[in-house]
Every structure is written in structure tokens, then in C-alpha cells.
Amino acid sequence: MKVTLERILRTLLWVLTIALIPGPVQAGAMEKRVTVGNKNFTEQYIMGELIKQLLENRGFRVDLRSDLTSMALRGGMESGDIDLCADYTGTAWMVHLKREYKPGTDNNQLYHLVKEKEKGNQFIWLHPTWNNNTYAMASWREFATKHQVATLTDLAGLYTKGEGEIETFVNFEFSIRPDGLSALEKFYGFKVAKTTLKAGTPGASLIALREHKTDIAMVFGTDASIAKHGWHVYADDKSFFPPYDLTPYVRKDVLNKYPEIANIINGLIATFPGGGKPATPVIVAECQGIWRQLNATVDIERMEPKEVAEKYLIEHGLIKR
Amino acid sequence: MRRQVILFALLTLLLGATFWVTSLGKVGIYSTFTYGDLLHSAWAHFKMVFIAVFIAAAMGVPLGILVTRPGFSPFALPVIGGASIGQTIPSLAVIAVMAPLLGFGLQSAVVALVIYGLLPILRNAYTSIRTIDPAIIEAAQGMGLTRMQIARKIELPLARPVIMAGIKVSTVITVGTAELAVLVGGEGLGKITLTGVFAQEPLIILQGAAPTAAMAITLGLILELAERRMTPRGLRLEPENTLGVVRHESNT
């Protein structure tokens, strides 16, 4: 038989046709596929992996889109490129729903407000973890002891008395957020002198505090460094900062197609303190502690979020080794 | 002339944009920076650029001229080459490397900016002397001028505009690079721009970037004027008017 170019091409075409057709037709119809998204910081990497591995264990084929900016993740959820993710109640209320936060609204109230309003956007919010990864101000314990300050009210007094001698380090974004520095100053009645105020990239404030380059640093509630260094976090005694509780939410059309997702994910949430039940200050503190530890396994012990998630799911009996 | 008109129009546009965003007070959920913030940052930015260019000029001009002297000419290649290497490293890397070395703060930013701004000054200072027509020097020697007199009366005046051009280029570059200084604890307009970047809010980015560009254009124009004035009268292509404003483009 003579091997001609035409023969080779024809064979190739057949091979391609056969290879391409059955794939989508056979597998696609049966397979349960979802796309999970997560943002670009430690806690989100862990949560993304938790959801992914759990759903995979329950027979889903999961496509994980990791490392997204907050806006990209929300954009993906809105366009349908992403089916479910976990976001914060405070972020949803102020950034996505563009509502004003009334100081004093507690974790439970804010969750229910968000859940209610998000129904209109065809998003179903599942049970929250009460980890309150909100903004907070922290310092070394020695500083708090030396100046005898414990709450933000105390700290405001110190700022007023100190007259621009307290070095302060915040995130770039924090200086212009509606729940950021200027609103905080107004609410507690103090002013950070411009000359002592520094702003940096995410995480820079933690490094500055660790290296004693600043007295006060903006931190997040579940930052691993807080536990590691035993930093003092100033109590928000007048409830200025909105709650930021990490909560999974799903597109409604996806949930209609795969209603079992709600139970599977709520089962994961149930492993956290107060999971599925209303929040109390004790529950919030416990849950924050759990997440600080989880974040520490990645940020300090340098484990992969994937391993951390797997270990967590096994320990809580959600998947088997 | 036409170029200046375009630059002034651009300047108006940039400042207009800055004032517009600032007057909005709020974009999306974010509040814009106030005029106070803007002035504070712009002043800090200018100070940092001024210090950095001043140091770069104080080092670059004497060094650039020195290596043109007969005794020092073997050093010309290593010196210019060294400065070139300084400029090939990405500005972000230069600035980022400084923080661990010199600590967080203005000093790191300034050292990084000096390293980055040195080359145009050094190279122009060197070239300015080297490109003087040897016939002119010979004529001066023929007239009986001493070497000192030749340097003072012939070489330096001829070199001045080229040296100034180097300082101008360096200044304009440094205004832009100084945006990054905020990453190592410096202050300046970069704080506003980067806040916009991290808040993902284009108008806040504009609020920082537009005044930075305006500052670069303004300083560029001022130094261009200085460059003209330093050109020996005999070498100017067109006369100046009484106000000292150049009417026509020279080809420098």
C-alpha cells in the first residue's frame, strides 16, 4: 500500500473525529461539575481547598479557580464562570451590595441582612463560620501594658494625648475604606498625625510590627501572626468594625441543579465553633482562634493549603484517607 | 513652541483630572484623598526627588567630568559601565533590595533613586566634554590659554547645556520611579496611586498618577528653560525675548 500524504491526513482526521466526539457526549451528561473560586490570601486558599476536596469526595468534578482578587471573584460569581465561593459578610454588605454599615450591627444581624439581600442577586448564602476576619488594630503586648491601653477607646485617648508620636501602619486600602481609618478616627474621636502614618501592601503592616518599625499596626482578625507573637488586639468596644464572617455562597441556578451542595457545605461549616447556630461573642472568639491556627499552619509552618485542608477534613471525619 | 503648547494643555488636563477626582469626595465605596493628603504627598514626593537628583548630580557631574581628564580616562569605561548596570536593573528591584539593606524609610528610597537616576547625569557629563570639537581647544591653546582657563572658559560653558539636559532627563525619570518609594517606607504620590491599585479603583489610581505626571512635565519644562539659559549666547539658535521665555524651538 502506498503511503500518500492524503492517506495520512485522512487517517489523522478520522482519529481526531473519533477522539473528540465521545468525550463530551458520554462523560458530560453524567458528570457533576462545579467551579469553585477563592481569593488571594491564606484563609481563602484553605477554604477553597476545603470546599474543593469535600465536593470531590462527594462525587463532584471540581474546577478550582484560586488566587482571584475580590472583584474578579465577585465578577465570576455574577457571570456564572464560578459557581460557589466563600466571602465575608462585611465585604458582601459594603462592597458588593454597596450598603452602609450601621455600627453596632452584630454578626447574626449582618449575616441575615446579607442573606436576604443576596437572594435578589440569585445567590444563596449557606451557613457562616463565625470567624470575624475583620480589620483590627494591634500592638506588641509591652506597648499596651506600658501605656495601659486595652480598647480602641483607650487607644484613641492615647493618640490624642501622644500628639503624633505613635507610629501607625495600615494597608493602602484601609486609608480610604468606608470602614477604614478616617471613619475610625471620626467614630472614636482621634486623629493619627500624617507624619507618623505609613501605608503599605497587604501584609506589610504585619512585618512592620514584627520588626518594631511601628507601634500600632492594622491587622486582620484571623492573622496567624497575632497568635504567634501574642500581639494585643485592641477591643472594638464601641462596635465600629463590621463583622467579616467567612461564609460560602452558591449561585441559585447551580443549587437548583445540585441541591445536595447545601448539605455538603453546611456539613463542613458544622465542624467550626457554632457552625449553623447563631453567633455569640464566645463562639466568635473561638472560631477566630481556630482560623488563626489554620492560617498559622500555612503562614508559619509553611504547609500547603491543600495539605492543611485534607488534614482538617480527615480529622473531622468528613473524608477518609 | 508648538511642543510647549501641547505640554501646557496636557498639564492642564492632568491637573484638571486631579481636581475633579478630589472634588468627587467618594468613588464607589471608597473616599478619595483630600486636598490636604494630596499636597502632603506631592510635597513629600518633590522633596524625595529633589534630594535624590541633587545627590545624583553632586556625584555624577564631577565624576563624569573627572573621567574625561587625561590621567583618569582608563576609569571612564568602568564608571559609565557601572552606572549603566544600575539602570538596567528594574527600578522595582532596586527599590525592593534597598529595604532589607538600609531598613524601611526615606533613606532606602533615596539611595535607590540615586542609583537609578545617576546614569543620565554621568553619561551626559562625560559626553559633554568628550564631544567638544578638538579644533576649539587647539585654537584656545594657540591663543595662549592655560589648561585651567580652557576648562573654565571653553569646556565648561560648552558642556553646561548637555549636563543640564542629563539632569533634566534624570529628574523626569526619578519623578516616575519615586512612585515606588512608598513600598520601602518612603512617602509620596505613590501612596495614592498604589492605594488605588489595591482598592481596584481606577479613579484613585488617576488621583495619584495624574499629579505625578504633572510634576514630571513641570519639572521637565523648568529644567529645559534652565538648560537654554545655560547655553552660551553665541550657541543659542534663536534670541530670547525680554521675558526670558524662549520663542522658538532650538534643536538641542
User: What interface predicted TM-score (ipTM) does this complex get?
Assistant: 0.76
Q: Report if residue A239 sits inside a domain.
A: no
A114 and A60 in a single domain? The answer is: yes
- Which one of B200, B201, B204, B205 would you mutate to disrupt binding with A, by most A Cβ within 10 Å of its Cβ? B200
Q: Are A266 and A276 in contact (CB under 8 A)?
A: yes
Q: What is the pLDDT of residue B107?
A: 87
Q: What is the pLDDT along chain B (252 residues), one digit of tens a residue?
A: 788 899 999 999 999 999 999 999 999 889 999 999 999 999 999 999 999 999 999 999 999 999 988 888 888 889 888 888 877 888 888 888 887 788 777 888 999 999 889 999 999 999 999 999 999 999 999 999 998 899 888 899 999 999 999 999 999 999 999 999 988 878 899 999 999 999 889 999 999 999 999 999 999 999 999 888 888 777 776 544 444 444 444 444
Q: Report if residue A270 sits inside a domain.
A: yes
Instruction: Work out the minimum CA distance from B57 to partner chain A, whole angstroms.
Output: 28
Contacts of B194 in chain A (CB under 8 A): 172, 201
Q: Report if residue A72 sits inside a domain.
A: yes
A124 and A149 in a single domain? The answer is: no
> Count of CB contacts below 8 A, A vs B?
50
A70 and A151 in a single domain? The answer is: no
Contacts of B103 in chain A (CB under 8 A): 213
* Angle at which helices B202-230 and B190-199 cross, to 10°: 150
Judged by a CB distance cut-off of 8 A, whether residue A54 touches chain B is no
pTM score = 0.81
- Which one of A93, A168, A172, A186 would you mutate to disrupt binding with B, by most B Cβ within 10 Å of its Cβ? A172
- Which one of B107, B198, B206 would you mutate to disrupt binding with A, by most A Cβ within 10 Å of its Cβ? B198
Query: Which residues of chain A, if any, have pLDDT below 50?
Result: 23-27
A151 and A222 in a single domain? The answer is: yes
> How many domains would you assign to chain A?
2
Tell me, letter by letter, the H, E, C secondary structure of chain A: CCCCHHHHHHHHHHHHHHHHCHHHHHHHHHCEEEEEEEECCHHHHHHHHHHHHHHHHCCEEEEEEEEECHHHHHHHHHHCCCCEEEEEHHHHHHHHCCCCCCCCCCHHHHHHHHHHHHHCCCEEECCCCCCCCCEEEEECHHHHHHHCCCEHHHHHHHHHHHCCCCCEEEECHHHCCCCCHHHHHHHHCCCCCHHHEEEECCCHHHHHHHCCCCCEEEEECCCHHHHHHCCEECECCCCCCCCCCEEEEEEHHHHHHCCHHHHHHHHHHCCCCCCCCCCCHHHHHHHHHHHHHHHHHHHCCCCCHHHHHHHHHHHCCCCCC
The residues, ordered by sequence, that sit 6+ positions from B70 with a Cβ below 8 Å of its Cβ are none
**Is 1.10.287.180 the CATH number for B2-232?**
no
A119 and A255 in a single domain? The answer is: yes
Which of B46, B61, B42 is closest to B164 using CA atoms? B61
Q: Report if residue A258 sits inside a domain.
A: yes
Class of residue B90 by CB neighbours under 10 A (exposed 0-12, middle 13-18, buried 19+): exposed
The residues, ordered by sequence, that sit 6+ positions from A8 with a Cβ below 8 Å of its Cβ are none
Q: What is the pLDDT of residue B216?
A: 96
Domain CATH for A199? 3.40.190.120
Final residue before a domain boundary, out of A233, A258, A288:
A233
Q: Are B125 and B61 in contact (CB under 8 A)?
A: yes
Q: Report if residue A76 sits inside a domain.
A: yes
Residue contact A173–B33, C-beta within 8 A: no
Q: Dig out the grid coordinates for A190 from the structure.
A: 482621634
A260 and A122 in a single domain? The answer is: yes
Judged by a CB distance cut-off of 8 A, whether residue A178 touches chain B is yes
Q: What is the pLDDT of residue A163?
A: 63
Q: What is the pLDDT of residue B228?
A: 87
DSSP state letter for B33: P
- Which one of A39, A173, A192 would you mutate to disrupt binding with B, by most B Cβ within 10 Å of its Cβ? A173
Q: Report if residue A219 sits inside a domain.
A: yes
CA B113/CA B202 separation, integer angstroms:
26
A56-61: long-range contacts, CB 8 A cutoff, minimum separation 24: A57/A313, A57/A318, A57/A319, A58/A260, A58/A264, A59/A32, A60/A32, A60/A33, A60/A34, A60/A258, A61/A31, A61/A32, A61/A33, A61/A34
CA B182/CA A294 separation, integer angstroms:
31
Where b means 16+ CB within 10 Å and e means fewer, A38-64 reads: bbebbbbbbbbbbbbbbbeebebebeb
Q: Are A287 and A131 in contact (CB under 8 A)?
A: yes
Q: What is the pLDDT of residue A26?
A: 47
Q: Are A64 and A85 in contact (CB under 8 A)?
A: no
A175 and A120 in a single domain? The answer is: no
Place of cell 486595652: A150
Residue contact B204–A176, C-beta within 8 A: yes
A78 and A162 in a single domain? The answer is: no
Instruction: Give the residue on B whose Cα is nearest the Cα of A177.
Output: B30
Q: Report if residue A148 sits inside a domain.
A: yes
Contacts of B182 in chain A (CB under 8 A): 199-200
Instruction: Work out the minimum CA distance from A265 to partner chain B, whole angstroms.
Output: 30
A163 and A84 in a single domain? The answer is: no
Range of the structural domain that residue A207 is part of:
135-233
Residue-wise pLDDT for A62-88, tens only, equals: 999 999 999 899 999 999 999 999 999
Give the torsion sign (CA, A204, A208, A209, A211). positive
A57 and A200 in a single domain? The answer is: no
CA B163/CA B3 separation, integer angstroms:
22
Instruction: Work out the minimum CA distance from B52 to partner chain A, whole angstroms.
Output: 20
Residue contact A199–B40, C-beta within 8 A: no
Final residue before a domain boundary, out of A174, A199, A233:
A233
A112 and A152 in a single domain? The answer is: no
Q: What is the pLDDT of residue A15?
A: 66
Q: Dig out the grid coordinates for A312 from the structure.
A: 482538617
Domain CATH for A43? 3.40.190.10
A119 and A139 in a single domain? The answer is: no
Q: Dig out the grid coordinates for A179 from the structure.
A: 470602614
Length of chain B: 252
Q: Are A190 and A152 in contact (CB under 8 A)?
A: no
Q: Dig out the grid coordinates for B192 from the structure.
A: 495614592
